[in-house]
Structure 1
Amino acid sequence: MLFEVRYSDLAGRIGKIKTPSGTFETPAFIPVIHPVSQSVEIDFLKKLGFEAVITNAYITLKKYGDLAREKGIHKIINFDGPIMTDSGGYQVLEYGSIEPEPSYIAQFENDIKSDICVPLDKPTGYGLRYDVAERYVNETLKNSQETFNLIKSNNNRNAVWVGPVQGAEHLDLVKRSAGQLDEMGYEMMALGSPVQLLEAYEFAILADMIAALKSEVISKPVHLFGAGHPLTIPLAVALGCDTFDSASYMLYARDNRYMHANGTSRLDKLSYLSCQCPICINMTIREFIDLEYKERTDKLAKHNLYILRGEVLSVKQAIMEGRLWEYVGQKARAHPKLMEAYKLFLNYKYLEDGTPIFKKKAIFFMETSDQYRPEASRIRRIFDLFSTNKKKIVLYPDTQVSPFYTSHEYHKLYKKFSDYQICAYNPFIGIIPAEISDIYPAAHNLISKKKFNLHDAKDYPTFVSSFEKILSHDYFDDIIIIADEFMQGIIHETNIEHKNLKIIEYTDDVVEQI
């Protein structure tokens, strides 16, 4: 398998996966197609831009048997692009067990010429006792090793084989599962058992599961099973999932659930159709509701596919513009449970690996969580490495003019304090030495200005840390702080002490008054 990454932001990647039946771009939503009864026409999926689909090998085996071997899965479902096959793990989760052995299912997937194949796994589900989940993980690993031994010498088409990562909320099991599957040689990973979590909107647990997998497998593509919700896609992509599948578009439609950018709504609870897709633009909400059940369900499923396709495109555009952090933040405001997951981003240090060192656009600092975005963490480390031979320092609020050393304020400071180390300060990125204030994003950010109070300091621990490093030793003989409202709060909260510390309240003409 060839996986080529072209652009990245956070852990989100725009790339291409090469399969025997063609190449498709990631991130990709892969619609679930029933191998027997297809409610949405394959041609519709192609026209809408879905380059790959997923179907169930177990159901295909039960329904078609040797006919599927003879014709191949592409002719069975009438799709000539990449096809992923699930081996029946979901049926195991739903019904407890299935008849065929793992090696038999694996050989069947190979025989029907599947492009992306998943070994038979034992999904852990959500809420299992640790010992039960561990037993299921061990069974999945055993099946996966048996499958890999089989296909290692019998994979003439170079199909992509996917390692099924299990463990659910037991993160150590997720890590062990991912690590061992990686060692076996699987080219792609798939995180299983999130459906029950997603149904409960437990996005924070899902985020920790993805991060646990990524801690063991950095570069290989990652599939997320059962992720077909408009709020799940940006989160999953930002954390490093490249593909995701679901039958949600149809399942939601059967339940009269209408997807939109911020989630789902019951069709009969809507007053307007705000969507401009070809389905919605040609009728009113009343006309939609009054359709016969089958026609309404089919149209609603197609609408839902338009929303899912649009969400993937929006995420890709955010990656291209270096705005994925902002985009996920916007989405997080749609649901408190998603905000819980978004706030965990500060724990995921690997997000910095895929974040470009320089971006074409300035980044936005709008709220306290933005101090943890990778660009801010990265530049604080650079500032920490800065050293000076000057024994005096003056700290001044960051200006609207960038870099800081080009501003009128800096030149006025320099005339008065030429023997001082001159630094700006920014609530989100810390203490900025003037000499390196042109490094991204020190000179490439926009801040939402607000009135600070004395208690805001506790919300900016990264700044407090940078500030305390400046004052924690006796290197500087003299310290002058020109303190705006934010800095006054920091000083109030930190109770700093220095024998030659001078604090001057900031005003527009403060330099002239010193």
Structure 2
Amino acid sequence: MSEQPKPRFAFEIAATDGKARMGTIQMQRGEIRTPAFMPVGTAATVKAMKPETVRATGADIILGNTYHLMLRPGAERVAKLGGLHKFMNWDRPILTDSGGYQVMSLSELRKLTEEGVEFRSHLDGSRHMLTPERSMEIQRLLGSDIVMAFDECPRADQPRDVIASSMEMSMRWAKRSRDGFDSGEEHAARSALFGIQQGALDEELRKRSADALIDIGFDGYAIGGLAVGEGQEAMFATLEFAPGQLPKDKPRYLMGVGKPDDLVGAVESGVDMFDCVLPSRSGRNGQAFTWNGPINLRNARFAEDTGPIDERCSCDACSKYSRAYLHHLVKSKEILGAMLMTEHNIAFYQQLMQAMRDAIGEGRFAEWARDFRRNYLEESPPG
């Protein structure tokens, strides 16, 4: 009997517990277990980690970045070299963000119009134009499995009329992204396109955004415009309504989030996918995440600590090296320190997602989340 072809994109919810959902996304390059955390490989690498090490932590999918890869080494060059998967030796799904957030952060170097965003490269000052159509083309050249629509991400503290105008333009860009994605028929036949809900902290604007995206039609829906400085309380308040405005039968992706307790709270609100630079960036700076809260291995109290980073973790950093040795590496600014600390943090995040999937599947997520917070937040050790 011949093997059944793998689907382009199929999302199945296997269990729910309250608003929390556990399931799978099936794609041609493999299965993505949800809730899922995507390590960030901005420039075709998860910093300080080999792709096989990232996979060994339990990651099913990673994230690449349109803005950074279009500037260096260039999307056309990556395509010439066989696509992003071959280029970086990662054979599983890759989600690429559209570049909109990075362009937003270049407010001093950009000019925003209905057509798109003209900006100067932060690398060499060269001028570039990024439009919904060009973003789709770049993501197609990279060979992305999950493509993100091009949008603008305004700060939440902007006046409501500014946020509304930005959201409406992002919805027009979403339609252009849909059309641009569909024009690449061969790529569209094996990849997926996600729309991005905007509207900052405003329930009515987010509803209008969600309705516009649903009218266009996407494989999945992202919640954008959060984790941009509004604070956890405001983010959680928005997550009380934002995920429920999106289709129940499609994956919901909260972009750029976040701390472990952010992820738990967002899963409670019905979110399925996450990405964040925090575990890798924190690892390079000496901070490790543990089930009892984050610790800073730079702290002198770890100089003679022979225990592992976390007793419950089985990653190489925990099973083979002591806190004392990692303290030494971090203080000495040795590359191995960044490698081991990053590996642990990515592994911890994957273990966190697995624990949530298990708890949802067994119908005990509320109890699990309560225990997690008691250990992580209330018993967080000093340093």
Q: Could you say what secondary structure the match of 1:162 adopts?
A: strand
Tell me the distance in 1 between the aligned counterparts of 2:226 and 2:377: 18
Residue 212 (structure 1) shift: 2.3
Q: Secondary structure at the match of 1:219?
A: coil
Aligned to 2:370: 329
Residue 288 of structure 2 contacts residue 309 of structure 2 at CA under 8 Å; is this kept in 1?
A: no
**Structure 1 residues 105-120: aligned runs within 5 Å:** 105-120=135-150
Deviations along 1:190-220, one digit per CA (max 9) or x if unpaired, are 11232334xx7x3332223223222322321
Aligned partners of 2:360 and 2:175: how far apart in 1?
A: 36
Residue of structure 2 aligned with 1:215, choices 240, 244, 255: 244
Query: Match of 2:165?
Result: 135
Q: CA deviation at 1:137?
A: 1.1
Aligned partners of 2:12, 2:35: CA distance in 1, in Å?
A: 12
Q: Which residue of 1 aligns with 2:93?
A: 82
* Partners of 2:241 and 2:13 in 1: CA distance: 21
Percent identity between the two aligned chains? 24
Pairing 1:279–2:317 present: yes
**1:203 match:** 232
Structure 2 equivalent of residue 41 of structure 1 = 50
Alignment correspondent of 1:23? 31
Shift of 1:126: 3.1
Partner of 2:126: none
Measured after TM superposition, the shift of residue 153 of structure 1 is 4.2
Indicate the larger mover: 46-55 or 248-257. 248-257
Larger Rg, first or second structure (1 or 2): 1
Offset, 1:58: 2.2
Give, in whole Å, the separation in 1 of the partners of 2:48 and 2:324: 23
**1:163 aligned residue:** 195
Shift of 1:324: 0.8
User: Which residues of 2 match residues 145-294 of structure 1 at below 5 A?
Assistant: 145-156=175-186, 157-197=189-229, 202-217=231-246, 218-269=248-299, 271=302, 273-276=308-311, 277=314, 278-291=316-329, 292-293=332-333, 294=335
SS at 1:146 equivalent: helix
Alpha-carbon deviations, 1:247-289, whole Å to 9, x = none? 2122112332211125423223454545133313433333211
Change (3 A) 1:77 1:6: same
Code of the aligned partner of 1:119: A
Asked whether the equivalents of residues 309 and 322 of structure 2 are also in contact (C-alpha less than 8 Å), the reply is: no
Residue of structure 1 aligned with 2:16, choices 8, 11, 33: 8
1:102 corresponds, among 132, 138, 149, to: 132
Deviates more, 1:153-162 or 1:118-127: 153-162
Q: Is the 8 A contact 1:110 1:155 kept in 2?
A: no
CA RMSD of the aligned region, Å? 2.1
SS for the counterpart of 1:195 is coil
User: May I ask how many residue pairs the two structures share in their alignment?
Assistant: 333
Deviation string for 1:314-353 (max 9, x for gaps)? 10111122111112223344448xxxxxxxxxxxxxxxxx
1:100 and 1:113 map into 2 onto residues whose CA distance is 18
Measure the CA separation in 1 of the matches of 2:167 and 2:352.
Answer: 32
Deviation track 1:407-428 (CA, whole Å, cap 9, x = no partner) reads: xxxxxxxxxxxxxxxxxxxxxx
Distance 2:292 2:175 in 1: 41
Q: Rate the CA distance shift 1:263–1:92 in 2: closer, same or farther, 3 A.
A: farther
C-alpha offsets along residues 436-456 of structure 1, whole Å, 9 cap, x if unaligned? xxxxxxxxxxxxxxxxxxxxx
In the alignment, the residues of structure 2 paired with residue 41 and residue 230 of structure 1 have an alpha-carbon distance, to the nearest angstrom, of 23
Instruction: Give the distance between the partners of 2:67 and 2:87, measured in 1 at CA.
Output: 14
One of 65, 68, 71 as aligned partner of 2:78? 68
Partners of 1:312 and 1:87 lie apart in 2 by 25
Partners in 2 of 1:13 and 1:216 — Cα distance? 15
Give 2:321's aligned amino acid: M
Look up the match of 1:347: none
- 1:44 deviates by 0.2
Decide whether aligned partners of structure 1 residues 112 and 322 sit closer, same or farther in structure 2, where only a CA change above 3 A counts: same
**Measured at CA, do residues 263 and 102 of structure 1 come closer, stay the same or move farther in structure 2, by a change above 3 Å?**
farther
Q: Distance in 1 between matches of 2:226 and 2:243?
A: 16
Secondary structure of residue in 2 paired with 1:14: strand
Classify 1:275/1:237 alpha carbon distance in 2 versus 1 (closer, same or farther; 3 Å).
same
Give the 3-state SS of the residue equivalent to 1:164 in structure 2. Answer: strand
Q: Compared with structure 1, are the counterparts of its residues 181 and 195 closer, same or farther at alpha carbon in structure 2 (3 Å cutoff)?
A: same
- Residue 310 of structure 2 aligns to which amino acid in structure 1? C
3-state secondary structure, aligned to 1:318 = helix
* 1:315 counterpart letter in structure 2: M
Q: Distance in 1 between matches of 2:281 and 2:103?
A: 19
**Aligned amino acid, residue 75 of structure 2:** G
Query: 1:146: how far off?
Result: 0.9
Work out the CA distance in 2 between the residues paired with 1:236 and 1:116: 21
Q: What secondary structure is seen at the aligned counterpart in 2 of 1:279? A: helix
Give the structure, 1 or 2, with the largest relative contact order (CA under 8 Å, sep 6 or more): 2
- Amino acid corresponding to residue 344 of structure 2 in structure 1: H
Pair 1:92-2:92 in alignment: no
Counterparts of 1:398-409 in structure 2 under 5 Å?
Answer: none
Which amino acid counterpart does residue 222 of structure 1 have in structure 2?
Answer: R
> Shift of the alpha carbon at 1:246?
1.3
Structure 2, unmatched stretches of 5+, are 1-8, 111-118, 120-128, 379-383
Aligned partner of residue 249 in structure 2, secondary structure: coil
Letter in 2 for 1:309: Q
Q: Any stretches of 5+ residues in structure 1 without a counterpart?
A: 337-514
Letter in 2 for 1:67: R
Q: Aligned partners of 1:288 and 1:60: how far apart in 2?
A: 32
CA distance in 2, matches of 1:205, 1:332: 19
1:112 positional shift: 2.6
- State the distance in 2 between where 1:59 and 1:275 align: 34
Partners of 1:263 and 1:167 in 2: how far apart? Answer: 32
Structure 1 residue ranges (4+ consecutive) displaced by more than 6 angstroms after TM superposition: none
